[in-house]
Structure 1
Amino acid sequence: LRLFLEALRNNGDDIAMVEGQTGKTASFTDILQQSTTAATGLQSAGITAGDYVVLCCDKSILSYSLLLGVMFTGATAVLCPTGRADIIHLMTKGHRVKAAFFHKKYSEPVNTSLNSMDNPPSLVASIDSEDPQMNAIITSKAECIMYKVENPEEHIPIILFSSGTTGEPKGIQMSDTAITLMGVLFAPQVETLFNSSPIYWYTGVMTFISSILNSYTVVMSNATDARENMQLVQKYQADGWFLSIGTMIQCTHVENIETYDCSSIKEVYAGGEMMLKNVMEAFLAKVVGGPAMVQVMYGITEGGIMATTNSDDKALLETGLQPG
């Protein structure tokens, strides 16, 4: 946690995050201020180490600041899939949820699920500065007392969810050590990384932590439409792109694809499954419009992230790529 604090301070006024849909930006200094203030507000509301705090939300500057604030208190942030908001009580069964925060559009299924708990959380608020309880958290004036992690290999600050092979969400406990390593080992050589992964996936957290430790800007998109995401890549001139293999295929089949200019992309990171050579070639030719470094990352519920190394793959080398 102190490593993140130091990195946020050192990165200063450089832009850390951009909300693709709204255009809002936040510097690393902004994230530092917002997250430590959120931690203070959470502590004042009774959140402490060992508590479970549910977040059911899209990506936003406030969402990530709140996530980091939860981590600073020593509590565990449970990042629930927004599409399964109606079964939060089942995904957290056996654990006492102290607080739950969500975006307004998920309020109905979230509240229905929370009411199904034997012991509903005492603190429930929408992730909106106009919500009185949320406003009290993000404007707290008290002093932040940073939680000191005694055993970073065992302490669990985040629980992610993956569909795995069955399609049912599986909780993935991430230790402080694992979260730090995901940020250190994923170090793209980019200035601006575009990412449309949900916040509750590996990549939703990994790119956030990595951007702090490696000082680059993340452009966040909550869109699932390939055309909208291609427009955002063009608008923000991203030189890195993290996306799924399925999204790559969708992009190559967009109508009037020649009207989109994604030639700023120099590094492509794809996850979730194996990438066929023809998929990669089509994406580079039709979407990027030229060579780029391509790295495939496999998400494994039980084993974390593995990145492929293709330096001996002649077929890959023939595409003119720098293998990753």
Structure 2
Amino acid sequence: MRGVFAFLLLFALLPFLPLGVWRAFLLDVGLFVLLFTALALSWDLVARTGQLSLAHGAFFGLGAYGTGLLLPHVGTLPALALGALLAGLGALLLGSVTLRLHGLYFAIASLAFSEVLRTLALKLGFTGGPIGLPVPPPFGGGLPLAGYYLAFAVLALAVALSLWAEKSPFRLAQAACRQSEAVARVLGVRVVRVKLLSLFLGSLVAGLSGGVYAMKALFLSPYEAFSLARAVEALVIPIFGGLYTTLGPLLGGVVLVGLEQALRLWIQEGYLVVYGALLVLAILFLPKGLLGLLGGRRG
């Protein structure tokens, strides 16, 4: 618990630290760490029920496009909230149809959901189609650090939901679903309801992450917003840091997102080769993630 609060305190104080000439770059990296770590925590919340979701890229994209389309009309915070709600409605739609599926079948269905949404974003006129959608900055650009602190707020919400799921009786219901759905039903656990609630909460956080990302990027394309790479990143970070915990995705997000940005700066062409090789080595030799290496207890 102390590690979680230390992480949040560090990023809350980052804009006030003497960062010198690297200030703008480090704050940008910090913003992406916050957003993608929140996305990873939202994926881990679903994974605790035993479901392998590849739809988090879709929830991210729904939040991004919902926020981008509504921002000029309703303002920053209402647009973010409505974009997250759009992602939540997408999760309810997906879950009501597919959550009786298991394992790879659910993963394939969730991937298909992402591809359908990307195709719709490419074909519909009001989304900008393949040309893309320009997005205004938060609060009209009048607050330079608004994007950073919005990203911090999204991560704080993700941490709060993760800790609630980790410390409350809901953890037992999720663990029962993950271990054996048949036994969970015998014990009185409403399996579909637990999975649907987990998916809905995770999608809200993913939608908020997408909305803040849209205001940071200032431009959206369907290939970027609904990217499969986004969904893969959301699952790689918790696996690297430590599954079914709050601290694990926080550690994984800092290391992986920071490493990706550093390699992009230092190596440029071909940085993905080095990044991928490091991930393979980590998965082979750190089966319990960074928490296992540090002697942390898995959730």
Specify the TM-score bucket, using the shorter chain as the normaliser. Answer: under 0.3
Q: Which has the higher contact order (CA 8 A, sep 6+)?
A: 2
More strand by share: 1
With structure 2 as the length reference, what TM-score do the two structures score?
A: 0.27
With structure 1 as the length reference, what TM-score do the two structures score?
A: 0.26
More helix by share: 2
